[in-house]
C-alpha cells in the first residue's frame, strides 16, 4: 500500500512538471505520454528511430524526452539557422550522465559548457594537441602496420590471407594518438604492454555504447534517484577504469621528468608530447592545468579519436569490398598518381581526388556520429519561425539529412562521383553534409582525421590486393552506440602487391 502511494505521488509530481513544460512550448506530433514524453518511441539504434520520426512527422520536430524539451532537426535550412544566427546560443552542452562520468564532470572539451574555460581548452588543443607539427610519427606507425601485414602474409605472399580489419585499424589509431599524447605505444614491435591497449579498447567501446544508449536517467530524474536500470552504475565503473588508465600515463610522464625542461623555459618547439606540455603548464597554473584537466584532454583525443577514425576506415573498406569497381578505380588512381617506388606520403594526398570522394561518400552514409553531440540553448531563440525556450536540447540528425531523398539523388547508393562537385560541401548546400559537425563546436580534429584516413586507406590499397572472405556481400548492418560501428566486425582477404615488394622488404 505504501509503495503504491509512493508511485502515485511520483507520477502526480511528474505530470505537473510535464504539463508545465507543455505550456512553455508548442509540441508537434507524435503524441507524448505522461512522464515518458516521446521516449517510448525510441528504439535501438537511436538514430534510425529518430530518422523514422522525422520522415513521418517533419524535419523540425519539437519533442519531449521525459521532462526535457528537445528540438530534433534534419533540415539543412534549420541547421543553418541554429549554427549561424543562433550559433552562440546553441554552443552549450546539456548536462548528461556521459559528461559527468566520462567527461570529468563536464570539464572535458567535448562535454564542457560554452564558457571562457572551454575557449582556453579549445585554443590549447588547436595550438598544441592537434597542431600538424605534433604529428611526425604517423608515417612510421603506418609503415609498421603495412610491414606487419606484409610479414603476416607468409608463403611468399602468393595467397590471400584473412585479417580482422577493425583490429588493425584500432591498433594503428591507438598507437598514433597515444604517441601524440605520451610517446607511448600499445601495439606492434617494441611494445611491452599490449594487454593494456586491449583493455583500453574494451573500455572505450563500452563507454561509446553507454553514451549512445537512451539513458532514462538523463531525462526522468526519478529514474536516477531510484537507480532504475543500472546505467549510471555501469557508467561509474567504466569512468573509473578510464580514469585509472589516464592517471597511470600521467604518472609515467611525471616520473620521466622531461616536462621540467619546458617548465624552466625550454624551447617550445621541442615539447615532445601533450602531457609533458600540460605538466609544464601545471607548474605555473595548477587550477587550469590540473591532472583532471589533462585527463579531460586525453579522453577527448584517445577515446574519441581512436574509435571514430578507425570505424570510418572500417566502413570505407567494407563499402569498397562490396563495390569492387570503386576499389579498382581507387587503386588505379594511386598507381597513376603515386606509383610503386615509395609508400604513399603527405605530398601525395592532394592528388588522390577519387579516394577523397570515397571517404566523403562513406561519411555521408555512415557518419562517425549519426547525431551531433547534443547542444543546448542558453537563452530563448527562434528556429524555423518557432519559439525555442532556454534549456532546450538540440539534436541534429545528420544521418537522416545525409540520406534524405529530397536532398540527394539515389541517397542509399554508394556513389563517390557525386562529390566531384564542390557545391555539395560548400555554401548553403554544405549544410546537408556535416559529418564533422558545424559551428563553434565543430570537431577540432577534422584535419588530422582526414590526413590519417587518406594515408592509411591509400597505403592499404597501394600495397595489397583485397577481396571479400566469400562470395556474399559484406554485411553492412549497423551496431549500436554513440557512433555507428559495424554490427559484425569486418573480415577481409588480402595479398601483397608484387610491384610493392621492393618498398616493403
Annotated binding residues, written as ranges, equal 443
Question: Are 354 and 416 within 8 A, CB to CB?
Answer: yes
Question: Are 26 and 33 within 8 A, CB to CB?
Answer: no
Q: How far apart are CA 393 and CA 113, in angstroms?
A: 13
Binding region for heme: 443
Cis before residue 208, ω within 30 degrees of 0?
A: no
If you ran DSSP here, which 8-state letter would residue 420 be given? G
Q: What is the CA radius of gyration of the chain?
A: 24
Residue 484 grid cell: 555507428
Dihedral sign computed on CA atoms, order 62, 65, 69, 73: negative
Other Cβ atoms less than 10 A from the Cβ of 454: the count is 20
CA dihedral (259, 263, 268, 272) in degrees, to 10, reads: 0
Question: Are 103 and 111 within 8 A, CB to CB?
Answer: yes
Quick one: which of 377, 291, 252 has its CA closest to 104? 291
Phi, then psi, of 290 in degrees rounded to 5: -70, 170
Q: How far apart are CA 398 and CA 394, in angstroms?
A: 12
Quick one: which of 362, 369, 359 has its CA closest to 437? 369
Residue 305: enclosing H or E segment and its boundaries?
helix 304-322
Q: How far apart are CA 96 and CA 100, in angstroms?
A: 6
Question: Are 150 and 144 within 8 A, CB to CB?
Answer: no
Residue 93 grid cell: 552542452
Amino acid at each position: 500500500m505504501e509503495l503504491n502511494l509512493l508511485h502515485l505521488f511520483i507520477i502526480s509530481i511528474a505530470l505537473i512538471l510535464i504539463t508545465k513544460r507543455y505550456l512553455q512550448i508548442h509540441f508537434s506530433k507524435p503524441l507524448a505520454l505522461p512522464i515518458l514524453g516521446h521516449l517510448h518511441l525510441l528504439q535501438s539504434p537511436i538514430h534510425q528511430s529518430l530518422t523514422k520520426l522525422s520522415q513521418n512527422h517533419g524535419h523540425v520536430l519539437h519533442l519531449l524526452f521525459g521532462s526535457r524539451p528537445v528540438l530534433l532537426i534534419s533540415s539543412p535550412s534549420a541547421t543553418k539557422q541554429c549554427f549561424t544566427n543562433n550559433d552562440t546560443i546553441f554552443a552549450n552542452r546539456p548536462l548528461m550522465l556521459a559528461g559527468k562520468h566520462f567527461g570529468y564532470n563536464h570539464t572535458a572539451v567535448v562535454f564542457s559548457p560554452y564558457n571562457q574555460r572551454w575557449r582556453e581548452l579549445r585554443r590549447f588543443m588547436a595550438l598544441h594537441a592537434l597542431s600538424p607539427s605534433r604529428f611526425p610519427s604517423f608515417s612510421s606507425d603506418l609503415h609498421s602496420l603495412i610491414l606487419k601485414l606484409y610479414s603476416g602474409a607468409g608463403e611468399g605472399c602468393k595467397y590471400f590471407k584473412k585479417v580482422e580489419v577493425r583490429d588493425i585499424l584500432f591498433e594503428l589509431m591507438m598507437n598514433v594518438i597515444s604517441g601524440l599524447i605520451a610517446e607511448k605505444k600499445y601495439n606492434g614491435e617494441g611494445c611491452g604492454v599490449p594487454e593494456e591497449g586491449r583493455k583500453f579498447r574494451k573500455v572505450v567501446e563500452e563507454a561509446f555504447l553507454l553514451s549512445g544508449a537512451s539513458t532514462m536517467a538523463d531525462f526522468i530524474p526519478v529514474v536516477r534517484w531510484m537507480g532504475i536500470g543500472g546505467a549510471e552504475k555501469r557508467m561509474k565503473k567504466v569512468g573509473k577504469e578510464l580514469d585509472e588508465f589516464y592517471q597511470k600515463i600521467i604518472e609515467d610522464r611525471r616520473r620521466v621528468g622531461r616536462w621540467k625542461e619546458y617548465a624552466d623555459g625550454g624551447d617550445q618547439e621541442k615539447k615532445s608530447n601533450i602531457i609533458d606540455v600540460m605538466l609544464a603548464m601545471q607548474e605555473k597554473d595548477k587550477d587550469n592545468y590540473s591532472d583532471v584537466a589533462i585527463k579531460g584532454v586525453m579522453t577527448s583525443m584517445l577515446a574519441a579519436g581512436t574509435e571514430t577514425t578507425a570505424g570510418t576506415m572500417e566502413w570505407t573498406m567494407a563499402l569498397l569490398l562490396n563495390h569492387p569497381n570503386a576499389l579498382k578505380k581507387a587503386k588505379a588512381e594511386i598507381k597513376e598518381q603515386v606509383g610503386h617506388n615509395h609508400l604513399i606520403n603527405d605530398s601525395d594526398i592532394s592528388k588522390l581526388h577519387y579516394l577523397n570522394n570515397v571517404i566523403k561518400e562513406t561519411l555521408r552514409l555512415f557518419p562517425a556520429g549519426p547525431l551531433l553531440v547534443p547542444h543546448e540553448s542558453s537563452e530563448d531563440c527562434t528556429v524555423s519561425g518557432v519559439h525555442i525556450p532556454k534549456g532546450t536540447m538540440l539534436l541534429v540528425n545528420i544521418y537522416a539529412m545525409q540520406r534524405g531523398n529530397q536532398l540527394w539523388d539515389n541517397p542509399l547508393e554508394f556513389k563517390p562521383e557525386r562529390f566531384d562537385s564542390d557545391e555539395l560541401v560548400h555554401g548553403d548546400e554544405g549544410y546537408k553534409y556535416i559529418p564533422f559537425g558545424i559551428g563553434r563546436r565543430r570537431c577540432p580534429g577534422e584535419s588530422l582525421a582526414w590526413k590519417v584516413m587518406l594515408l592509411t586507406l591509400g597505403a592499404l590499397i597501394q600495397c595489397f590486393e583485397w577481396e571479400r572472405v566469400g562470395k556474399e556481400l559484406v554485411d553492412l548492418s549497423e551496431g549500436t552506440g554513440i557512433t555507428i560501428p559495424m554490427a559484425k566486425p569486418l573480415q577481409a582477404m588480402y595479398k601483397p602487391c608484387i610491384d610493392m615488394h621492393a618498398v616493403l622488404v
